[in-house]
Amino acid sequence: MNEFNGFPPGDLKFTSIPDLFFSRLLPQIDNLAELKIILHILWLRRRENKQTISLTELQADETLIHSLKTISDEPYKLLSEGLEAALADQILLQVEVENGQDKQRLYLLNSEGGRLMLEKIKNGQTGDPALSL
């Protein structure tokens, strides 16, 4: 792993994390993979400006997989376990959609926007034919 030499000078991009995450969720998260996945999803939502993140995107995300490899040599197993923990803790929401012949699993933050998007997906109101049940 490369040594971290500090943040560079100049304009840095920041990712917003709700205060409630620190006061209510962080104290109860005891799974390092779950924590890394949640933080990564918060970062992806901000960076890509979207409510949903697919399982396929997470599995293909080299940064996330590398991060999980620091815990175990089975990062995909950790990804699955961490996502299940985040669902059980109600931090994330999940929905399966059909995209042609393929099924796709999507994850959303359990926020007002995430819950609204989940309802839109379930009702076929996203305007995106790739997100139809």
What pLDDT, in 10s, does the model give residues 28-67? 999 999 999 999 999 999 888 889 999 999 999 999 999 9
| Count of domains observed in the chain | 1
Indicate whether 13 belongs to any domain.
Answer: no
pLDDT band at 124 (very low <50, low <70, confident <90, very high): confident
pLDDT tens digits, residue range 67-123? 999 999 999 999 999 999 999 999 999 999 987 788 899 999 999 999 999 999 998
Beta-carbon count within 10 A of 114 CB? 17
The residues near 82 (Cβ < 8 Å, ≥ 6 apart) are 31, 33, 34, 36, 37, 68
Indicate whether 18 belongs to any domain.
Answer: no
Residue 54 and residue 83 in contact, taking contact as beta carbons nearer than 8 Å? no
Closest by alpha carbon to 93, among 112, 75, 65, 76?
112
> Which range of residues forms the domain containing residue 100?
30-131
Rg over CA atoms, the chain: 16
